[in-house]
A and B are shown apart, each in its own frame.
Chain A
Amino acid sequence: ADIKIGSVLAVTGRASFLGDPEDKTLRMYVERINAAGGLLGQKIELVVYDSAGDAAKARTFATRLIEEDGIIAMVGGSSTGETMAMIPLFEEAKIPFISLAGGIVIIEPVKPYTFKTPHTDRMACQKIYGDMTARGISKIGLISGSGGFGKSMRKQCLSAAKANGIEVLADETYGPKDNDMTPQLTNIRNTAGVQAVLNPGFGQGPAIVTANFKQLSIDVPLYQSHGVASRKYIELAGDASEGVRLPASALLVAENLPDDDPQKSIVVNYKKAYEAKWNEPVSTFGGHAYDGLFILAEAIKRANSLEPGKIRDEIENTKGFMGTAGLVNMSASDHLGLDLTAFRMLEIAKGEWTLVK
């Protein structure tokens, strides 16, 4: 029999930004693994369902994966909401579940069968605050998307602010499908003392925020989140994106990494493969799926068994795994395994990502 691996992704809908590249990555690499002889001598069969970002749908599909399709492991769950709705099912069925969503609640507190690959929002906030402090910025304005991603990161950034010596003077939001943020930005501009603006969010919002930022000629630095970490963002925001900074994985600057960077070969290969196959720029989200799939594949190899329990144990034992997000070292108390070094601070210059030294 084939090795059945399941996935539920927001391939369409509001979060298709996440789900679509994840879906493409999984399909591409399962094909590759199978072409190279599969795992433990067996082919992988990947079952992907599209939740359209709806937690209720995700839950039903998860049941279907467990009961009907009989999967032995799961890589998926694009958003925190979907993931949280599915966790109890996988925990109950004792099937390992590697989530691709950002929320810290997924792995905190630790649940035996649940893991995740992306950095947490909190780490992104810390990285950004670190960079701000280095530039002498301590008072900022916040404008966040009101979708799941923006909301969750906003919360983390607000709660992490104090400890990092940052004061949030303005706190604005916008809807996921909004197409004009000048009123919110005007309010931030008119707030005295704002030294920089931070925009957690993904999708079209950040691109429009960036354009509006330029339109209003606000002359403080603009920080984006890892939510816009794809070439598309530069393309959409155009010239307005000059000088914007954001934390992201090494993936985006693959070619610019020094040759001795241990991550370079991984990210360059993934990037090349993805862009060749799908004819569109990579995003870090696809990378999360890559990491998830290979953490699982390695664990299966190490376990040398298709028993979910054994696979789980081996996932937890993942050490020194180099993925697109960074170096992963999991443990019984850490089901993520990344640290702050995984994030690189990038700045857009002349329409290209560059590493901030």
Chain B
Amino acid sequence: MTLLRVEEMSIEFGGVHAIEDLSFVIEPGAIHSIIGPNGAGKTTLFNLITGLYRASRGRIMFEDRDIGGQPPHRLARLGLSRTFQNLQIFFRMTAIENVMVGRHLHESRNVLAHLLRLPAVVRQNQRTSAKARELLDFVGLADDADVAAGAMPYGALKRLEIARALAVEPKMLLLDEPAAGCNPVETQEIDHLIQQIAKTGVTVVLVEHDMRLVMNVSTHILVLDAGRKLAEGSAAEVRANPAVIAAYLGAQGQRELARAQG
């Protein structure tokens, strides 16, 4: 069964066709990368898939169910979770509280019980915070649990977002440029992290401009350009595609890839 199927989807912003007539599928268990020049529509695509934008045409099927027009929190319940290119951290909360919010769907939502602080709520708080601590540990932020998110460095926040997204226990995790602003060593840590996530059975959709990371982890790559599909295939196929080289990789991309392999 395909996990996600996008069919002939389009969206435009005041005349700009951010996504145009795009169709593709994502298989479960994949690390599916989406690359393309700046402004190709990658983030927009994420926004469409996670319900923040509404497509003007086309369909999105998740596990063979049409999810078009569903609000983001419903989609989260179905198993979709993501991080953001422009960080969306809860800055007034501590690191661990950020992750605890990610557990929202796995907690009871009985407001009356919350108000009265029934014993079940206390126990649940403990469970949630234990789980959150586990996830912070997983992304390497165990020591920062009680630090206010506002005081954490950029790189740490990127990982905090990943931990929070994982707390949702998604079937599919969408990462928007997780390695941006990271140096090569930190990028390798992210690389490792992504592979570990994939190992737990979560399908990863990755948008990233760091070609070493992309080529290294992806099982499948979709290349977008100006909202349309430019190419698709395995890392090796995409890398060799002259159109992709011209529109996206350029000399730098190839050089990096060369260094990555050499």
The answer to A–B direct touch (Cβ < 8 A) is no
